Amino acid sequence: MENNSPSNRHTRELMLGNEAIARGFIESGCAMATSYPGTPASEILSSVIRFKDQAAQPLHAQWAVNEKVAFEIAYAGSMVGLRTAVSMKQVGLNVASDPLMSAAYMGTRGGFIVVSADDPGPHSSQTEQDSRLMAMLAKIPVLDPSSPREARDMVALAYEISETFEIPVMLRPTTWVCHARQDI
């Protein structure tokens, strides 16, 4: 039987997968998050901003004019040793492909997570794309969560891998993970 005591009720929350990813950024000490809005990844940065304000944590959050600029801003933060993240939909990864390939061989200093939210089907995108193939081309690791809770938990692992090997790490949630709700 689940513990529904008053103290336990406040520690758990029903969250969208995108909110869970944002919570993972906050819990893992992300210092800079950038994004270009596009479904299924749209709610990630706005959730980061909301959670940052609740946690009173210093974190720079910025919308960018396109995915390439969002990537480059977050990558610059990583190169000075900050934990950073950029989020976009899979079609946007094409726009950011030049700096992705460069970052993969130039490396990172701080942890750097590239969230590419894939839209199998596609439900809200022009085309279907599998970002794992872009990661393979760039020779960077990919974490592929199957639930909102797993997505949140994989953020810490992604930072650990990125900092250990000094490379970007891709987190690849799908539409079903981004827009599913789970008790976190």
Is 172's pLDDT higher than 70? yes
Whether 1 maps to a domain, the answer reads no
Q: pLDDT tens digits, residue range 80-120?
A: 999 999 999 999 999 999 999 999 999 999 999 999 999 87
Domain that holds residue 104: 13-183
Whether 114 maps to a domain, the answer reads yes
Torsion of CA 129, 107, 156, 31, to 10 degrees: -100
Whether 2 maps to a domain, the answer reads no
Whether 148 maps to a domain, the answer reads yes
Whether 99 maps to a domain, the answer reads yes
pLDDT class of 6 with cuts at 50, 70, 90: very low
Whether 7 maps to a domain, the answer reads no
Using H for helix, E for strand and C for coil, what is the string for the chain?
A: CCCCCHHHHCCCCEEEHHHHHHHHHHHCCCCEEEECCCCCCCHHHHHHHHHHHHHCCCCEEEECCCHHHHHHHHHHHHHCCCCEEEEEEHHHHHHCHHHHHHHHHHCCCCCEEEEEEECCCCCCCCCCCCHHHHHHHHCCCEECCCCHHHHHHHHHHHHHHHHHHCCCEEECCEHHHHCCEEEC
pLDDT at 10: 53
Q: pLDDT tens digits, residue range 20-66?
A: 999 999 999 999 999 999 889 999 999 999 999 888 778 999 999 99
Q: Which of 42-51, 52-61, 155-164, 166-175 has the lowest mean pLDDT?
A: 52-61
Is 5's pLDDT higher than 50? no
Q: pLDDT tens digits, residue range 116-152?
A: 999 877 666 667 789 999 999 999 999 999 999 999 9
> Could you give the number of structural domains in the chain?
1
